[in-house]
Amino acid sequence: MRDTLRPLGVTVLGAAFAVPLYVVLANAFKPGADIAPH
């Protein structure tokens, strides 16, 4: 059971890191982007 759940946990962990990083990069490369948080 644990061996079955491990890839799922890695995927969730990867998504948790990848999604915010993707959003930050997308905002950074957006024309006229404002880096300062609102």
Tracing tokens 């890839």 back to the chain, one arrives at 7
Please tell me the predicted confidence (pLDDT) of residue 36: 56
Please tell me the predicted confidence (pLDDT) of residue 27: 83
Please tell me the predicted confidence (pLDDT) of residue 37: 58
**DSSP character at residue 30:** S
pLDDT at 2 over 80: no
How far apart are alpha carbons 25 and 21 in whole angstroms? 6
Please tell me the predicted confidence (pLDDT) of residue 28: 81
- What predicted TM-score, i.e. pTM, was given to this entire model? 0.47
Compute CA distances 23 → 6, 9, 15, 32, whole Å: 26, 21, 12, 15
Please tell me the predicted confidence (pLDDT) of residue 11: 93
Number of continuous H segments (helices) and E segments (strands) in the chain: 1, 0
Q: What is the pLDDT of residues 5-36, one digit of tens each?
A: 888 999 999 999 999 999 988 888 876 656 55
